[in-house]
Structure 1
Amino acid sequence: MIFLSSHPICWLNLLFPNVPPAPGMPCAGEDRSIYRRGARRWRKLYRVNGHIFQAKRFNRRAFCAFCQDRIWGLGRQGFKCIQCKLLVHKKCHKLVQKPCSNEHVDPVEVKDDANGESTLGRASSVRSRAEPEPPLPETPPAPAPPAPVRPEDLEPGSQRQYSLEDFELIRVIGRGSYAKVLMVELKRTKRVYAMKVIKKALVTDDEDIDWVQTEKHVFETASNHPFLVGLHSCFQTPSRLFFVIEFVRGGDLMFHMQRQRRLPEEHARFYAAEISLALHFLHERGVIYRDLKLDNVLLDHEGHIKLTDYGMCKEGVRPGDTTSTFCGTPNYIAPEILRGEEYGFSVDWWALGVLTYEMLAGRSPFDIAQAADNPDQNTEDYLFQVILEKTIRIPRSLSVKAASVLKGFLNKNPVERLGCGENGFLDIVNHPFFKSIEWEMLEQKQVVPPFKPRLEGERDLANFPPEFTDEPVHLTPDNDTVIADIDQSEFEGFEYVNPLLMSLEDCV
């Protein structure tokens, strides 16, 4: 059995060398936010003639200020200046001669990359000091805001499959920037699920709405794989979106690593192999995961892994396709993303290298001794510089095969990275580190996991951080004023029921 130690030590030993008073409790001076960092997207901006353009999705008739043609298509069809609100086609934005008309704006922190593109850091919007902006002649007037939507209007007739009344809320088991995760019971069958709850008011930005839809699609795809958390159903109220997903009760790898500090190679190999199969499944279906980290690797009741949280995924990536969105959890971001380069599936194999290093060494490959005492070294910019420039040191205690696989995954050149060559995933399968893995048996869950979480029942939450499970279980009352400002048309078609899980429930 692993993870059982009489003296559990915080795994980030370079930052927190103290011993916690009990498993799951924080060390003296420990700040959990340092290692449970959330992923996010950095806004990509384009500067031309004083304008600062950002890709946008338009839900009404919009016309290009340069060529006067309609801006149409799917996804984010055009660009909008975040200062003067000028609308243009993506193909026309470099041709705009009209200077930006808004001269009095708050400073925007923008960094140019090699392609002339820019990155806006944590600022998500720009507020003008000037008078309210007049409507642009290039676009028709905006329609009146829609009337508040009633629950019965959202799920009419036979389309309504589930609602909040169908579930009993049991306990909080997780929380993020946008969502709260609850353990719930479906009253009709007494089955236990996890419920991810997202406030619509927090996802009214075009890009945020896009990632919610992407997460739903990937959840649907993931329902067909043993190492990915699948979807039971989706429903909504006027104020919230609800994902009902598999409840994986063994806790996440971050929670267990806090107890064990580092894993034996056999254990790390098993987890890395199952994660590889999950990533390969997504890649074959055109999905870049982009948020692999210890927090998102769950253990089921038998000890097999399941990846969760698909909010950072990129869909529709065909072989040879690339994307350029600057996103991810800082410690796991690949060098090609930091360099502003186009990238593909390579970024997931880099993140697997970082995670495997953490399992084997008990620390991040980018940890810097005494960084907590030096404010200049405790910033994201400095971390990114380390990822780009620092030579990764492999601990001498690791075997030659383990050192080789880490060097393969953590190659700063994506073309030479393990999993990214002509043979792709086969290079991982055939690597000496994975020689003992029976891949077909592993994918069929016929290999016994090296560790089985201790669980006393289906609802045992011993493997979840008390900081979550001690929270009161309730949803704040709806605010009619906030609901009135939500464009409910953005969430049309969100409802979904997994037909496979429905058929299983009918057999109960």
Structure 2
Amino acid sequence: MRSFWTEILNAAASHPFPSVPGDLLSPLDLDYGDELFPNVPAAPGMPCTGEDRSIYRRGARRWRKLYRVNGHIFQAKRFNRRAFCAYCQDRIWGLGRQGFKCIQCKLLVHKKCHKLVQKPCSNEHVDPIEVKDDANGESTLGRAASVRSRAEPEPPLPETPPAPVAAPVRNEDLEPGSQRQYSLEDFELIRVIGRGSYAKVLMVELKRTKRVYAMKVIKKALVTDDEDIDWVQTEKHVFETASNHPFLVGLHSCFQTPSRLFFVIEFVRGGDLMFHMQRQRRLPEEHARFYAAEISLALHFLHERGVIYRDLKLDNVLLDHEGHIKLTDYGMCKEGVRPGDTTSTFCGTPNYIAPEILRGEEYGFSVDWWALGVLTYEMLAGRSPFDISHAADNPDQNTEDYLFQVILEKTIRIPRSLSVKAASVLKGFLNKSPSERLGCGEGGFLDIVSHPFFKSIEWEMLEQKQVVPPFKPRLEGERDLANFPPEFTDEPVHLTPDNDTEIADIDQSEFEGFEYVNPLLMSLEDCV
């Protein structure tokens, strides 16, 4: 590791940060009447009076792409069983979302064929035609499909019937030396510590070792859409990858029941930055620099492994018991991105969405550096660079569309109280042109390392967690929940009973292979 950082810092010395025009560095007056935290909340973690949660808190969303052709409304889908194109009759195969499916009549087609479909959409669901295997193991279609001419418009050809799901493996059923599997019975549910639109997060104890973890619980009924299932699998993969980095929340294990999915992850007990910002309103520059540097290392780690994070915000930056940061919540991540690759999904928390996403452009890792700029601005100024709280009384100016317009068009003003170096780094991250944004040029991450704002950072020591954090959360023990919002911790700890009718509608084959145990954490537990 020493040789790596020696090389980086030597390169930084010969790669000075590009000069910035003086007018970009001139601090501008700022009205502090409209702050992100306009007043002191009733209790830390509770929303302030007048705070718009849909914009500032826990509001990440994906806006789905739809393709309209001849009355059909096509959406990219993942087919985990055999599916055939209704236009050319060839099998739809590949990785990821291989084809399109009409959300009205369920027509299945290749992406390359969807514009060629001539049969109008009937707006009615067509009964499935089973895909079978013949004696030679080859796929054959039902009689109705086999007699049609290829030139004729084809009816939708569905996937094969769901395969049965094997019963969960219990610890006592395993042979000696095989990998341990977990179930809900292995954990004691202690307290609710968070809740989102898809999941509930609990503090739990592993009964065997008495270790404390966080457990993210997701109802399968909420993620039965093909794209939702893809995102759950992506989150699992990124959790596995994140287990190897000090500033990312890692994964202990995954398991499932007929109604739910369970992620058992590290319990980070210092609370999130949103909680602490509500106490302090804004942070000293030295504190913001420390957090921004650790976040930069976490993002760089993900980018090197082909992952765009896409959901950086105060809520997702946690503090551990020593005061170091850990990023969490990988549900918005995009994986498999190579250098130069781009994606186009419109997603994110409204206040942090980069201009290139709003413009409908293809984008890459640049969107994470933009979000870091927004977050750093919030830490330093105590408000969003795109604050619209002053428009609360005007319905036309209190919407996501108006916020997006502000992000695209508003000139970002820097508080006069900030240093020239802080103003420079904010202007660098918040450049509306991704090609000119800090961290996105030819120097890449090197431009961030060598920026004057981070001159005091010892990057090698920081990555090894050898730099003392500027703030240490006050904790009385590993189960102290003083840094979590009481709106969650006061909730009763229980899971609602399963609904048999709801479970019957779930295709359990979609969740095959979800179970996982982190071998590194397992080896540590076995040493206890």
TM category (shorter chain) comes to: 0.7 to 0.9
Q: For structure 1, list consecutive stretches of 5 or more residues without a partner in the other structure.
A: none
- 1-side partners of 2:56 and 2:460: how far apart? 34
Is the contact between residue 8 and residue 261 of structure 1 (CA under 8 Å) also seen in structure 2?
A: no
- 1-side partners of 2:14 and 2:157: how far apart? 68
- 2-side partners of 1:475 and 1:288: how far apart? 32
Say which is worse superposed, 232-241 or 91-100, in terms of deviation: 91-100
- 1-side partners of 2:143 and 2:264: how far apart? 30
Identity level (%): 96
Q: Aligned-pair distance for 1:122?
A: 40
- 2-side partners of 1:119 and 1:323: how far apart? 36
Q: Aligned-pair distance for 1:121?
A: 37
- 2-side partners of 1:95 and 1:115: how far apart? 33
* Secondary structure of residue in 2 paired with 1:159: coil
Query: Cα 1:142–1:66, aligned 2, differ >3 Å: closer, same or farther?
Result: farther
| Other-structure match for 1:70 | 91
Q: Aligned-pair distance for 1:99?
A: 2.6
2:197 pairs with 1:189: no
Q: Aligned-pair distance for 1:206?
A: 0.3
- 2-side partners of 1:124 and 1:34: how far apart? 50
Is the contact between residue 56 and residue 76 of structure 1 (CA under 8 Å) also seen in structure 2?
A: yes
- 1-side partners of 2:493 and 2:144: how far apart? 32
Is the contact between residue 46 and residue 116 of structure 1 (CA under 8 Å) also seen in structure 2?
A: no
Q: Aligned-pair distance for 1:104?
A: 12
Is the contact between residue 42 and residue 122 of structure 1 (CA under 8 Å) also seen in structure 2?
A: no
Q: For structure 2, list consecutive stretches of 5 or more residues without a partner in the other structure.
A: 1-12, 18-33
| Other-structure match for 1:400 | 420
Q: Aligned-pair distance for 1:98?
A: 2.5
Q: Aligned-pair distance for 1:26?
A: 4.5
- 1-side partners of 2:134 and 2:362: how far apart? 12
Which string of whole-angstrom CA distances, capped at 9 and with x for unpartnered residues, describes residues 66-86 of structure 1?
222111122211011222322
Say which is worse superposed, 367-376 or 154-163, in terms of deviation: 154-163
- 2-side partners of 1:116 and 1:452: how far apart? 63
Which string of whole-angstrom CA distances, capped at 9 and with x for unpartnered residues, describes residues 278-300 of structure 1?
00000000000000000000000
Q: Aligned-pair distance for 1:421?
A: 0.5
* Secondary structure of residue in 2 paired with 1:298: strand
Is the contact between residue 83 and residue 105 of structure 1 (CA under 8 Å) also seen in structure 2?
A: no
CA RMSD of aligned residues (A): 9.0
* Secondary structure of residue in 1 paired with 2:436: coil
Q: Aligned-pair distance for 1:201?
A: 1.0
Say which is worse superposed, 494-503 or 304-313, in terms of deviation: 494-503
Query: Cα 1:31–1:391, aligned 2, differ >3 Å: closer, same or farther?
Result: closer
Alignment of 1:444-455 (within 5 A): 444-455=464-475
2:69 pairs with 1:61: no
- 2-side partners of 1:67 and 1:372: how far apart? 53
Larger radius of gyration between Structure 1 and Structure 2? 2
Query: Cα 1:154–1:288, aligned 2, differ >3 Å: closer, same or farther?
Result: farther
- 2-side partners of 1:122 and 1:333: how far apart? 50
* Secondary structure of residue in 2 paired with 1:274: helix
- 2-side partners of 1:114 and 1:398: how far apart? 75
Q: State the aligned residue count.
A: 499
Q: Aligned-pair distance for 1:130?
A: 28
| Other-structure match for 1:32 | 53
Q: Aligned-pair distance for 1:18?
A: 3.6
* Secondary structure of residue in 2 paired with 1:170: strand
- 2-side partners of 1:226 and 1:62: how far apart? 42
Is the contact between residue 86 and residue 153 of structure 2 (CA under 8 Å) also seen in structure 1?
A: no
- 2-side partners of 1:60 and 1:327: how far apart? 28
| Other-structure match for 2:230 | 210
Query: Cα 1:352–1:120, aligned 2, differ >3 Å: closer, same or farther?
Result: farther
Query: Cα 1:498–1:138, aligned 2, differ >3 Å: closer, same or farther?
Result: closer
Query: Cα 1:150–1:432, aligned 2, differ >3 Å: closer, same or farther?
Result: closer
Q: Aligned-pair distance for 1:372?
A: 0.9
- 1-side partners of 2:140 and 2:379: how far apart? 32
TM-score by length of 2: 0.83
Is the contact between residue 106 and residue 127 of structure 1 (CA under 8 Å) also seen in structure 2?
A: no
Query: Cα 1:311–1:23, aligned 2, differ >3 Å: closer, same or farther?
Result: closer
* Secondary structure of residue in 1 paired with 2:213: strand
Query: Cα 1:6–1:437, aligned 2, differ >3 Å: closer, same or farther?
Result: closer
Query: Cα 1:263–1:141, aligned 2, differ >3 Å: closer, same or farther?
Result: closer
Is the contact between residue 178 and residue 202 of structure 1 (CA under 8 Å) also seen in structure 2?
A: yes
- 2-side partners of 1:382 and 1:362: how far apart? 21
Say which is worse superposed, 208-217 or 45-54, in terms of deviation: 45-54
* Secondary structure of residue in 1 paired with 2:67: strand
Query: Cα 1:445–1:430, aligned 2, differ >3 Å: closer, same or farther?
Result: same
Which string of whole-angstrom CA distances, capped at 9 and with x for unpartnered residues, describes residues 220-242 of structure 1?
00000000000111111111111
Q: Aligned-pair distance for 1:367?
A: 0.3
Which string of whole-angstrom CA distances, capped at 9 and with x for unpartnered residues, describes residues 423-445 of structure 1?
10000000000000000000000
Is the contact between residue 287 and residue 470 of structure 2 (CA under 8 Å) also seen in structure 1?
A: yes
Say which is worse superposed, 252-261 or 14-23, in terms of deviation: 14-23
- 2-side partners of 1:156 and 1:95: how far apart? 57
- 2-side partners of 1:293 and 1:454: how far apart? 22
Q: Which has the higher contact order (CA 8 A, sep 6+)?
A: 2
